[in-house]
């Protein structure tokens, strides 16, 4: 496992550790930093560039100026709000050819203070490495504590959600799929489909009652037979009525023949008229009980249909009312469940983010970070 370690070597130890860096000539007041993986693997160009950028970062240069100020004041011109920018403009951080090293020198500021400025920069750079490693360990421990807490809270929230769902009898919290809402919508659709049939049944009964009033006033069932041709057909197709009607039609033909032969006032015509009236009376007698029975049957059917329509309509209205009440009653519980569900989802998301950051920190710890070793002090 690669682990980061950084150190500052005394000038006497340079020959033992600097390798190619010690043979590189450097201007007075310049320092040299060796960059390598903790397991001794050579630094890559990309890694050297990354470390060069870090060495000249705002955080490192600000710390260096703070060290100088604490030691006796930052040299001019590195004071004021733009001191870091001016120091960066004068600082040269370059790769040492043929070695895994960075050379650091200052090309501005008082010459007698350049060495102290470069030294402060190197110290700040190495210290930032140490603090980063320490901060990563501290952050990992904080994240592990937070992860364990989030796991417990997520487990409690998931258990509470299950208990709440059972207590409320929730199958789903989706309004489109909630069984109470689905039942309410189904009942509404059924009522819409059946309402025309309800209206027709009630209208048919009202029409029959109106015809009954007309027939009573006229003392004649003809209004019914005209309104209900099938009843009239049923009456006329009865064998007894058919015989009586045939007799009436035969006598009517005979009457026409006698009138043509004798005239209207002849005795044979009067006798035939009398027979015809008797036959017509007989026909009415045959029709009357059939008409009454069929109309009573029709009335019973219409009344039954009307009563059933009223009953079914009332039942649908009652069931719809109960379904609506159930849907409205469960609505606050569903909102409560959704609120808890969102809290659980938020906990899971935070737990995922925490575990992801922990994984990243573990990978960084396993891989290690480039070590920065000062092999030449200015």
Is 117 in the same domain as 255?
no
* Predicted pLDDT at 2: 40
211 and 269 housed in the same domain: yes
| Domain match, 190 and 122 both | no
Give how many domains the chain has, as a whole number: 2
| Residues 357, 372 share a domain | no
Q: Which residue has the tokens 């001016």?
A: 86
Is 281 contained in some domain? yes
Whether residue 171 lies inside any domain: the answer is no
Considering the domain architecture, whether residues 138 and 186 belong to the same structural domain is answered as: no
- The verdict on 195 and 320 lying in the same domain is yes
CATH of the domain at 370: 3.30.70.1130
Same domain? For 76 and 215 the reply is no
Asked whether residue 174 is domain-assigned, the answer is: no
Q: Give the domain extent around 330.
A: 179-363
Same-domain pairing of 195 and 328: yes
Q: Looking at the structure, do residues 21 and 135 belong to the same domain, yes or no?
A: yes
| 116 & 185 share domain | no
**Rounded CA gap, 276 and 307, in Å?**
45
Provide the pLDDT for residue 246.
94
For residue 215, what pLDDT is reported?
75
The CA distance from 288 to 240, in Å, is: 12
Residue 33 covered by a domain = yes
Whether 322 and 179 have beta carbons less than 8 Å apart is answered as no
Q: Is the peptide bond before 77 cis (omega within 30 degrees of 0)?
A: yes
**298, burial (CB in 10 Å: exposed 0-12, middle 13-18, buried 19+):** middle
Same domain, 218 and 287: yes
116 and 102 in a common domain: yes
In a domain, 158, yes or no: no
273 in any annotated domain: yes
Residue 221: CB atoms within 10 A of its CB come to: 21
Give pLDDT tens digits along the chain (378 positions). 344 333 333 333 333 334 456 444 445 578 998 888 766 777 788 888 989 999 999 999 999 999 888 887 656 778 788 889 999 999 999 999 888 899 999 987 777 888 889 999 999 998 888 877 776 777 788 888 888 998 898 898 888 888 877 777 765 555 555 667 777 788 888 889 989 998 999 999 999 888 888 876 655 677 888 888 888 899 889 999 999 999 999 999 999 999 998 888 889 999 999 999 999 999 888 888 888 888 889 889 999 999 999 999 999 899 888 888 877 776 677 777 778 888 889 988 998 998 888 887 776 665 566 777 888 887
Question: What are the residue ranges of helices labelled H in the chain?
Answer: 14-17, 45-55, 58-72, 83-90, 114-168, 179-218, 222-227, 229-236, 239-262, 267-367
Let me know if residue 109 belongs to a domain. yes
- pTM exceeding 0.75: no
């Amino acid at each position: 496992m690669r682990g980061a370690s950084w150190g500052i070597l005394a000038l006497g130890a340079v020959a033992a550790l600097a390798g190619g860096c010690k043979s590189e000539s450097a201007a007075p007041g310049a320092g040299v930093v060796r960059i390598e993986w903790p397991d001794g693997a050579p630094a890559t160009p990309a890694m050297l560039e990354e470390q060069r950028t870090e060495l000249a970062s705002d955080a490192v240069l600000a710390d260096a100026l703070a060290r100088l100020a604490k030691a006796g004041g930052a040299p001019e011109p590195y004071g004021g709000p733009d001191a870091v920018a001016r120091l960066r403009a004068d600082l040269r951080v370059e790769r040492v050819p043929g070695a895994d090293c960075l050379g650091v020198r200052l090309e501005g500021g008082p010459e007698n203070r350049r060495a102290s400025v470069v030294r402060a920069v190197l110290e700040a750079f190495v210290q930032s490495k140490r603090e980063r490693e320490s901060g990563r360990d501290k952050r990992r421990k904080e994240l592990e504590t937070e992860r364990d807490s989030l796991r417990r809270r997520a487990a409690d929230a998931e258990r509470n959600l299950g208990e709440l769902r059972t207590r409320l009898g929730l199958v789903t919290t989706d309004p489109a799929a909630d069984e109470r809402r689905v039942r309410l919508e189904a009942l509404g659709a059924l009522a819409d489909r059946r309402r025309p049939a309800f209206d027709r049944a009630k209208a048919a009964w009202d029409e029959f009652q109106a015809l009954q009033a007309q027939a009573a006033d006229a003392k004649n069932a003809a209004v019914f037979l005209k309104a209900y041709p099938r009843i009239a057909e049923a009456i006329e197709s009865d064998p007894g009525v058919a015989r009586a009607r045939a007799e009436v039609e035969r006598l009517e033909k005979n009457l026409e023949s006698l009138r043509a032969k004798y005239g209207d006032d002849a005795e044979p015509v009067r006798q035939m008229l009398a027979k015809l009236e008797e036959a017509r009376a007989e026909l009415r007698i045959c029709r009357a009980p059939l008409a009454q029975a069929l109309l009573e049957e029709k009335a019973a059917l219409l009344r039954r249909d009307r009563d059933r329509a009223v009953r079914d309509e009332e039942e649908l209205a009652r069931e719809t009312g109960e379904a609506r009440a159930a849907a409205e009653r469960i609505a606050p519980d569903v909102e409560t469940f959704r609120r808890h569900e969102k809290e659980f989802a938020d906990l899971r998301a935070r737990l995922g983010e925490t575990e992801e950051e922990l994984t990243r920190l573990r990978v960084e710890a396993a891989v290690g970070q480039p070590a920065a070793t000062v092999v030449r002090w200015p």
